[in-house]
């Protein structure tokens, strides 16, 4: 039994780091597309937050994260992750990732981003940090004999008779039917499947990011937490691309400003101005758009012609659309960027289902709360992967001689355009009861045992959002604009969400019959 590998699902920083840290245990790393493609990590421009500066401490870093989390951050886990930040950077350096240095070529260069009180953002290749990190980890994984790389789709988790995860139902690349799937036994399974941005019409995520890991965990009975908290990045570049290119927050850290079509700053009087927490900036940009204004990012006053060398990725993206940030402001809008909610895990990354761990964006560790602090996502994955590896190495492997599965029909592909538009409209930057209930009913009527993961996850998010009758962090309710004095988490299972959706749909049907 102990010869079964650990199965890691996902090829971003969370999956790769976990696989590497598990060595020499045998690991099967499964990615839905060729390794290095369609991973949100590769799109990360900002960097990795770590308290490396002489004027900085992990305590200050943790306090900034807790402030941004709007009352829902877990102090203990936040402090542990902040304290582990410098060691995580050192480990990434050991994997061959070269971070940007100061002019002397020795000290690591540190940038500033919104809601950080110190310069603590570590970059690689200017604004190409994610690409450099993912390439470095892929190289390390390919050179690690204990890691086997597979491409394909995980349709379901395989369960032992006593409810322990004992492997996965795997459909190899090119397979189209459930009959093509095979059972892969595993001593443990780690979800590292990323976020949910692909459920939205405007997103900076790969369109394949539809919450597959959430669906797998939900069907296995896992508790999910705070799914309503979807972070919308305020400065996605509005040039008609899908996914939308990102204008990194580091630009605002270096003095870029937000203006309307008349060139007027609309963040100047807000505490923190352009460097206010992301939820505040995203709401301000959204209000401009709702009011019929276009919002722009203007780098000219502070960066001028240096923008091309200091932010080559951003400059190239603009050039591809015929724009020049040295000469003109760049059109922007909020876009779904990061999911603070996820599968509830403990300090070791274990979910509420035995044998199942979750790492990175798919997990709810307690670090991000209601609003993620910029550049804490890659940090969380790098740190959490070490804790998960330690926990799995000390765990007992299950008896996988008899595994059960639903063998459900695979639902391949992305979220459809109609669902993405509805998520933008009804479960977007600003929500209300009417829109949320409309979304829940529509997603409910689209349900069956083989419903696409996208529909199931959209329903889970909408039900969680409907249950939070307040505005907090990234969850803004037009009909509940105040923040409760008593912070609380919204925890939910698939059964509870489906029951709520059914009751809502049935009550609506009864009301319509009464007026017929």
Catalytic center residues: 278
Cα distance between residue 116 and residue 374, in whole Å: 8
HEC-encoded secondary structure of 278-340: HHHHHHHHHHHHHCCCCEEEECCCCCHHHHHHHCHHHHHHHHHCCCCCCCCCEEEEEEEEEEC
Q: Token pair for residue 313? A: 């990725």
d(CA 481, CA 287): 14
For residues 157 and 216, the answer to whether their CB atoms sit within 8 Å is yes
d(CA 502, CA 495): 11
Q: Which two tokens stand for residue 46?
A: 């900002």
Separation CA 490–CA 262 (nearest Å) = 42
Question: CA separation (Å) from 219 to 196, 257, 353, 390, 435?
Answer: 17, 45, 11, 26, 26
In SS3 terms, 221-257 reads as: CCCEECCCCEEEEEEEECCCCCCCCECCCHHHHCCCE
From start to end of 47-174, where are the E strands?
A: 48-49, 110-111, 121-122, 147-159, 165-172
Burial 73-109 (b: 16+ CB within 10 A, else e): bbeebbbbbbbbbeebbebbeebebebbeeeeeeebb
Quick one: which H or E segment has residue 476?
strand 476-477
The two structure tokens encoding residue 161:
């008779």
What count of residues does the chain have? 516
Instruction: Please report how the helices 433-445 and 494-514 are oriented relative to each other, as an axis angle in degrees rounded to 10.
Output: 100
**42 closest CA partner among 274, 208, 191, 226:** 208
Distance, in Å, from the CA atom of 392 to the CA atom of 345, rounded to the nearest integer, reads 14
Phi, psi of 294 (to 5 degrees): -100, 140
Residue of 379, 501, 486, 385 lying closest to 444 (CA atoms): 501
Pairing label, strands 491-492, 224-225: antiparallel
């Amino acid at each position: 039994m102990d010869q079964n590998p650990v199965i890691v699902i996902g090829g971003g920083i969370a999956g790769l780091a976990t696989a590497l840290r598990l060595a020499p245990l045998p690991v099967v790393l499964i990615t839905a597309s060729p390794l290095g493609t369609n991973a949100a990590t590769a799109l990360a421009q900002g960097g990795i937050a770590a308290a490396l500066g002489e004027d900085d401490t992990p305590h200050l870093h943790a306090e900034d994260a807790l402030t941004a989390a709007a009352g829902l951050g877990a102090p203990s886990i936040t402090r542990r992750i902040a304290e582990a930040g410098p060691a995580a950077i050192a480990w990434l350096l050991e994997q061959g990732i070269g971070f940007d240095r100061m002019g002397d070529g020795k000290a690591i260069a540190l940038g500033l981003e919104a809601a950080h009180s110190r310069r603590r953002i570590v970059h690689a290749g200017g604004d190409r940090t994610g690409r450099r990190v993912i390439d470095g980890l892929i190289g390390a994984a390919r050179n690690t004999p204990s890691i086997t790389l597979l491409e394909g789709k995980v349709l379901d988790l395989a369960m032992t008779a006593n409810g322990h995860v004992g492997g996965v139902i795997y459909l190899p690349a090119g397979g189209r039917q459930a009959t093509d799937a095979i059972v892969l036994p595993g001593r443990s399974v780690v979800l590292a499947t990323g976020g949910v941005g692909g459920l939205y019409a405007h997103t900076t995520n790969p369109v394949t990011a539809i919450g597959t890991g959430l669906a797998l965990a939900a069907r296995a009975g896992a508790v999910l937490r705070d799914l309503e908290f979807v972070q919308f990045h305020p400065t996605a570049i509005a040039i008609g691309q899908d996914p939308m290119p990102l204008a990194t927050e580091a630009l605002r850290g270096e003095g870029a400003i937000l203006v309307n079509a008349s060139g007027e700053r609309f963040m100047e009087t807000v505490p923190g101005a352009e460097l206010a927490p992301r939820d505040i900036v995203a709401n301000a940009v959204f209000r401009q758009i709702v009011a019929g204004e276009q919002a722009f990012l203007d780098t000219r006053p502070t960066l001028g012609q240096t923008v091309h060398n200091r932010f080559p990725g951003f400059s190239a993206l603009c050039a591809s659309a015929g724009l020049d940030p040295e000469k003109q402001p760049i059109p922007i809008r909020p876009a779904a960027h990061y999911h603070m909610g996820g599968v509830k895990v403990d300090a070791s990354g274990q979910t509420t289902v035995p044998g199942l761990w979750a790492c990175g964006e798919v997990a709810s560790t307690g670090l991000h709360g209601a609003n993620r602090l910029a550049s804490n996502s890659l940090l969380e994955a790098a740190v959490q992967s070490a804790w998960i590896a330690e926990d799995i190495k000390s765990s007992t492997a299950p008896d996988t001689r008899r595994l059960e599965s639903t063998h459900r029909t695979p639902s391949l592909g992305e979220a459809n355009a109609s669902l993405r538009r509805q998520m933008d409209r009804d479960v977007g930057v600003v929500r209300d009861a009417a829109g949320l209930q409309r979304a829940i009913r529509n997603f409910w009527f689209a349900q069956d045992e083989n419903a696409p993961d996208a529909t199931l996850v959209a329903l889970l998010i909408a039900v969680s959002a409907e249950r939070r009758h307040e505005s907090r962090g990234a969850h803004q309710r037009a009909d509940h604009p105040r923040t409760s004095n008593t912070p609380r988490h919204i925890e939910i299972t698939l059964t509870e969400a489906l029951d709520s959706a059914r009751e809502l749909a049935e009550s609506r049907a009864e009301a319509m019959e009464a007026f017929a």
